[in-house]
């Protein structure tokens, strides 16, 4: 029996304040770590181990794209895909009933808002500095 714990983490380096050309291959990078399995107990009926599985998914966006609606939509698409993939990796033998996915998306929501706000602030700072 597995209990899946899912963490979606965003690894973002310093938001670059320089402009650069953006190509499709350079947009959001998604990294899914290998599952970490911890035995947290045993089933009393079968003596099978009860496992807590943690999968960390990192979606690393290009800060320049977070200042546009299409860039934010791309980030959200990549987060949804990362959540689905991480939930599958957490327990590939049991179909997710939606619980794992919903928890993953909820954990990402505040992080996305903070990233977008930071990118827009950095963009506004850059524009003000150029004037």
- Mean per-residue pLDDT for 28-56? 86
Count how many domains the chain has. Answer: 1
Q: Give the domain extent around 33.
A: 2-130
Mean pLDDT of the chain: 77
53 pLDDT more than 60: yes
Percent of the chain at pLDDT > 90 equals 11
Q: Return all residues near 26 (Cβ < 8 A) that are at least 6 apart.
A: 62
* pTM for the whole structure: 0.70
Q: Return all residues near 47 (Cβ < 8 A) that are at least 6 apart.
A: none
């Amino acid at each position: 029996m597995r209990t899946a714990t899912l963490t979606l983490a965003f690894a973002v380096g310093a938001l670059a304040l320089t402009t650069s050309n953006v190509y499709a291959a350079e947009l959001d990078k998604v990294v899914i770590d290998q599952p970490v399995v911890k035995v947290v107990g045993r089933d009393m009926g079968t003596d099978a181990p009860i496992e807590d599985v943690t999968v960390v998914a990192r979606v690393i966006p290009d800060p320049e794209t977070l200042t546009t609606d299409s860039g934010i939509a791309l980030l959200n698409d990549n987060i949804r895909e990362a959540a689905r993939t991480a939930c599958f990796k957490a327990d590939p033998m049991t179909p997710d009933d939606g619980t794992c996915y919903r928890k993953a998306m909820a954990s990402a929501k505040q992080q996305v808002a903070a990233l977008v706000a930071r990118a827009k602030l950095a963009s506004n700072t850059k524009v003000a500095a150029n004037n």
